[in-house]
């Protein structure tokens, strides 16, 4: 159980940091808390976009690895390639403009994406890069291990603190907009992947995987390669876990899956339930604001 060392080292550290952040923010007002979260979102953004400078993205020391680290194609790793990448790139403008509907999506899926990545750090423990097996192993103190944990932790922490301090409040009147947000997000991921495909930044992956048929469309539509956020359907490895989703997908939308559209019905059923679950949870654990802060909160929403 080699991967347990990552849990035993990082999770306690992140738990302590969460407690310290709460203790620090308890004595602040919401304007000050928001500024603090903006600073955290800047750090998350920087941790995402500096990836090409470091191993393995920089192509240094990968001579014995699959030929998938070439420039400029490697810059695909700092685009909108998955749910967490979108959160890392967009949390800063989201906090600056504070649209309620966007914040609903960002808080819920920033929380879920960050938290689930910490529970199952696939990029760290699976020995894969862009769904392709690699030979190198990520060490406990490798830069990308540290970066991975902290960028996903920040996505979780920012989302948690926004809801905990009621800087943003969920409202059941908006819960049916969440599935629309999910579909728009997956559409963004689809367009991003299509652009990468058209400009040739996926060609190396096609060669390594052998998925070069149909002018590269075999790779583009493959559910098991770079399908981090299920845009193209449920990957084979998640078929059993995704049973409750897949059972709601009409037959004509799968085998093969219709990108993005396949998840429409599950999104409109499960997303509002997730919304209600988050609202119920944070109604119970929300930090108690005084009257002065309540007025301030109304102004900042």
Backbone angles phi, psi at 128, to 5 degrees: -130, 155
b/e string for 14-43 if b means 16 or more Cβ within 10 A? beeeeeebeeebeeebbeebbebbeebbee
| Contact partners, residue 293, CB within 8 Å, separation at least 6 | 29, 30
pTM above 0.85, yes or no: yes
Indicate if the alpha-carbon torsion angle 119, 125, 130, 133 is positive or negative: negative
> Would you state the structure tokens that stand for residue 83, as one six-digit string?
């749910």
Q: What is the helix (H) or strand (E) element at residue 297, kind and residue range?
A: helix 291-300
Contact between 98 and 300 under an 8 Å Cβ cutoff? The reply is: yes
Residue 290 confidence (pLDDT): 56
| Contact partners, residue 113, CB within 8 Å, separation at least 6 | 83, 84, 87, 152, 155, 156
In tens digits, the chain (301 residues) has pLDDT values of 567 888 889 999 999 999 999 999 999 999 999 999 999 999 999 999 999 999 999 989 888 889 999 999 999 999 999 999 999 999 999 999 999 999 999 999 999 999 999 988 887 888 889 999 998 888 899 999 999 999 999 999 999 999 999 999 999 999 999 999 999 999 999 999 999 999 999 999 999 999 988 888 999 999 999 999 999 999 998 989 899 999 999 999 988 999 999 999 999 999 999 999 999 999 998 887 654 455 455 544 4
The number of folded domains in the chain is: 1
**Cα–Cα distance, 168 to 163 (Å, whole number):** 6
Q: Which domain holds residue 54?
A: 4-300
């Amino acid at each position: 159980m080699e991967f347990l060392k990552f849990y035993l080292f990082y999770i306690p550290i992140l738990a302590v940091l969460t407690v310290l952040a709460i203790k620090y923010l308890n004595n602040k007002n919401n304007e000050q808390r928001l500024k603090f979260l903006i600073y955290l979102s800047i750090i998350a953004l920087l941790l995402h976009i500096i990836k090409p400078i470091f191993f393995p993205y920089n192509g240094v020391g990968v001579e014995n690895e699959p030929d998938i680290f070439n420039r400029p194609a490697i810059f695909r790793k700092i685009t909108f390639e998955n749910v967490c990448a979108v959160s890392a790139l967009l949390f800063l403008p989201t906090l600056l403009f504070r649209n309620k509907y966007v914040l609903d999506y960002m808080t819920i899926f920033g929380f879920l994406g960050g938290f689930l990545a910490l529970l199952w750090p696939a990029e760290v423990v699976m020995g894969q890069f862009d769904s392709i097996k690699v030979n190198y192993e990520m060490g406990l103190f490798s830069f990308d291990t540290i970066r991975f944990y902290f960028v996903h932790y920040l996505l979780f922490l920012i989302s948690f603190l926004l809801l905990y301090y009621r800087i943003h409040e969920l409202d059941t009147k908006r819960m049916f907009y969440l599935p629309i947000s999910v579909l728009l997000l997956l559409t963004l991921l689809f367009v991003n992947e299509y652009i990468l495909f058209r400009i040739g930044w996926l060609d190396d992956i096609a060669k390594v995987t052998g998925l070069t048929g149909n002018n590269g469309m075999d790779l583009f539509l493959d559910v098991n390669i770079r399908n981090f956020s299920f845009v193209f359907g449920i990957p084979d490895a998640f078929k059993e876990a995704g049973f409750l989703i897949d059972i709601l997908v009409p037959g004509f939308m799968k085998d093969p899956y219709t990108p993005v559209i396949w998840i429409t019905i599950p999104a409109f059923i499960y997303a509002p339930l997730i919304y209600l679950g988050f609202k119920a949870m944070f109604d119970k654990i929300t930090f108690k604001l005084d009257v002065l802060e309540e007025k301030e909160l109304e102004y900042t929403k």
